[in-house]
Amino acid sequence: MIAKYVLGWFVLAIVAIINGIIRNEVYKDFLGDLRAHQLSTLTGIILFGLVIWGFTHIWKITSAGQAWTIGFIWLGMTIVFEFVFGHYVIGHPWSKLLHDYNIFQGRIWILMLFWTTIAPYIFYKLSAK
């Protein structure tokens, strides 16, 4: 089951990339960088929620431990992807990548990471009722 969710993370990565492209091409110039980042984080959380909800209905999570394992694997994969892809493929400097983690400057990306980590557990608990 864990292997299916690891592969499912690649769907989440594609959703995140599309969400970022929409941000940059559609509303970033209108809203400005910070507001676009915040809106993109919100839409990303919603889109991830829909995808993860779908995953948990297709591939039943059988325990809270399994849900947390999935969440922490996804967290690790997301952070590694963000820094490797962001730096080596897109060419962002490390300082820009780290900047998105500064919640005191309105950068709320960390909420996306938090959601990615806890969502499997939340949907597991909801499906167990």
Mean pLDDT by 10 residues, the chain (129 residues): 93 96 97 96 98 96 96 97 91 90 93 97 90
Contacts of 96 (CB under 8 A, 6+ apart): 86
Contacts of 38 (CB under 8 A, 6+ apart): 106, 108
C-alpha 36/C-alpha 65 separation (Å) is: 35
Domain count, the chain: 1
C-alpha 28/C-alpha 36 separation (Å) is: 5
Q: Which domain holds residue 74?
A: 2-127
The pLDDT value recorded for residue 100 is: 86
CB-based contact 97:87 (threshold 8 Å): yes
